[in-house]
Amino acid sequence: MVRNDDFFLRKWVEYYGKEFGMENIYIYLDGKDQPIPDWCPSVSVTPCDKLPGKVVELEKRRLRFLSERAAELFERYDIVIGTDADEFLIVDPSLGMGLAEFLSSVKSSNSSMSGLGVDVGQNTGCEGVIDPSRPFLTQRRYALLSSRYTKPSVMLRPVRWGSGFHRIKGHDFHITENLYLFHFGSFDLKRIKDRMADKQRVSSGRHLAKRTRTITKVSRKKACDWNRWTVIARRMQAVFRPLYAVNKPSMAGLDIVVRIPERFSDKV
């Protein structure tokens, strides 16, 4: 579900349409005042009445709505994926498999699958303003391994997402090896500042400020080895839980910055 965000939506449609076929992509517009995109004619786009409420309540309503739509889609599909427009589920390219093939190959009795959260940031010491005409990961090489973005994005049966897709209500999460959720909301300082200045956006200043912290961390901390620390992070998040939510993962307060391997550069 999106509102006035063609920048990420175009990339999202391009990526998931290539992986699954445009006819299997579903977009819900938050507000009928938005124009229906004319650049994705094969995609199902549904204008909806704008959801009411402040930030927290709005998120609850949004994910309740999307969980209901996901349940309907299970009448046609075996697996349903839900993400925000700036989130991309990526299989490790070393496997030589597309996302559809990979997900179909995983045998699981669980209610969901999660990719390890990779919060891509802008290293302001060596990376400039993003060029949307070029692949994102040719321009961004650093990320924070983030439990916040280890989300149960892949539903294997009808259940209910919590706010922001961060959990499945009443169920644990299950991190799948070789699967990553790349988040790009923190990958360009100029875009973040522009969003914070936009009075029409519902996002709180606190929420947007969290994204600038990712940029600060990837700019200041020494990058660790991807192959070693993604394994460690996956194990940690499978064990540690925040006190306020036992069905969410945690990095136990560690901020691990990694350098994204070259093999990911053409994925998004």
Q: In this structure, is residue 193 part of a structural domain?
A: yes
Query: Average pLDDT, stretch 26-52?
Result: 87
Q: In this structure, is residue 65 part of a structural domain?
A: no
Tens digit of each residue's pLDDT (9 = 90 or more) over 77-92? 999 999 999 999 999 9
State the residue for tokens 């704008």.
50
Tens digit of each residue's pLDDT (9 = 90 or more) over 199-251? 555 555 565 667 789 999 999 999 999 999 999 999 999 989 877 777 889 89
Q: Answer whether residue 252 shows pLDDT above 80.
A: yes
Q: In this structure, is residue 135 part of a structural domain?
A: yes
Q: In this structure, is residue 14 part of a structural domain?
A: no
Q: In this structure, is residue 3 part of a structural domain?
A: no
**Higher per-residue pLDDT: 128 or 243:** 128
Total structural domains in the chain? 1
Q: In this structure, is residue 18 part of a structural domain?
A: no
Q: In this structure, is residue 203 part of a structural domain?
A: yes
pLDDT of residue 65: 92
Q: In this structure, is residue 119 part of a structural domain?
A: yes
Q: Looking at this protein, which amino acid is placed at residue 262?
A: E
Instruction: Measure Cα distances from 11 to 6, 88, 198, 246, 256 in Å.
Output: 8, 9, 22, 33, 27
Q: What's the domain range around 187?
A: 80-264
pLDDT of residue 198: 60
**pLDDT tier for residue 49 given thresholds of 50, 70 and 90:** confident
Q: Which of 25-29, 97-101, 104-108 has the lowest mean pLDDT?
A: 104-108
Instruction: Please give the structure tokens belonging to residue 8.
Output: 């990420």
